[in-house]
């Protein structure tokens, strides 16, 4: 059962998302809220696997809520679900630890697939957003080097993360156990000084590590 918490200020959309997700086998909406003003309390109470987060909300918005969560929890998957497809919002979300970035026009069936993907360690992005992310980081002219001292095995794992593989897919591709994947990723995070998959992927692009 994938436990989901929703943050969306539009009551019709919030109700629609709740009905879609709660009405699908294997998913359960633990709570749905109009902003992030009580997000730490709700995170501790409901212990979601995935958080769906709008950006533009009154009071405490999605980027602020994202930062608050990441100060105490780097494990929960957070997907930004928004109408904003501009570089500044995308970059801010990824820089602060979002696992995925989807547009609200995402078809319902695809949204459910993305939530399931995030719950297993994936980093789902709407295709147009993924293209923008690639362009954003390819435009940065920084020297390529391995100043972070990643091993060849760690670079291989990082490349698969960049390719959008989940932990399970990495384990299958590299013929290693899930615990070994987690160990490699923990070391990658430590060496890159990041706290999430999206931050690791962003740094891989930005610093041309692969």
What are the tens digits of pLDDT across the range 73-106? 989 999 999 998 888 888 889 889 999 999 999 9
Fold (topology level) of 141-206: Arc Repressor Mutant, subunit A (1.10.10)
Higher pLDDT, 157 or 144: 157
pLDDT bucket at 126, cuts 50 / 70 / 90: confident
Asked whether 101 and 93 are in contact (CB, 8 A), the reply is yes
In 3D, which of 107, 112, 109, 47 has the Cα closest to residue 79?
Answer: 112
- Residue 138: band (very low, low, confident or very high) from pLDDT cuts 50, 70, 90: low
Task: Give the pLDDT score at 201.
Answer: 84
Q: Does 164 score more than 90 pLDDT?
A: no
What would the two tokens of residue 114 be? 């993305």
Q: Where in the chain is the domain with CATH 1.10.10.10?
A: 141-206
* pTM of the model as a whole: 0.68
- Which of the listed CATH numbers 3.30.43.10, 3.40.50.2020, 3.40.50.2300, 3.40.30.10 matches domain 2-136? 3.40.50.2300
Checking if the pLDDT of 147 tops 80, the result is no
Does the pLDDT of residue 145 top 50, yes or no?
Answer: no
Q: Which residues of the chain are in CATH 3.40.50.2300 domains? A: 2-136
Give residues with Cβ within 8 angstroms of 62, minimum separation 6.
Answer: 7, 36, 53, 54, 55, 56, 80, 82, 93
Res 127 pLDDT > 70? yes
């Amino acid at each position: 059962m994938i436990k989901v918490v929703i943050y969306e200020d539009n009551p019709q959309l919030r109700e629609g998302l709740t009905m879609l997700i709660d009405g699908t086998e294997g998913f359960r909406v633990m709570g749905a809220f109009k902003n992030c003003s009580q997000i730490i309390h709700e995170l501790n109470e409901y212990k979601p696997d995935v958080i769906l987060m709008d950006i533009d909300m009154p009071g405490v918005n999605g980027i602020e809520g994202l930062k608050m969560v990441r100060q105490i929890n780097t494990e929960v998957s957070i997907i930004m679900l928004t109408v904003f497809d501009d570089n500044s919002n995308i970059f801010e979300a990824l820089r602060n630890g979002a696992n995925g970035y989807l547009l609200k026009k995402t078809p319902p069936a695809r949204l459910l697939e993305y939530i399931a993907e995030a719950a297993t360690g994936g980093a789902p992005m709407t295709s147009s957003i993924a293209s923008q992310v690639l362009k954003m980081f390819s435009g940065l002219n920084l020297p390529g080097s391995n100043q972070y001292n990643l091993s060849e095995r760690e670079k291989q794992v990082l490349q698969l993360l960049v390719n959008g593989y989940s932990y399970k897919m990495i384990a299958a591709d590299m013929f290693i156990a899930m615990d070994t994947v987690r160990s490699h990723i923990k070391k990658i995070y430590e060496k890159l000084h990041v706290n999430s998959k999206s931050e690791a992927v962003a740094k891989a692009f930005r610093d041309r590590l692969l």
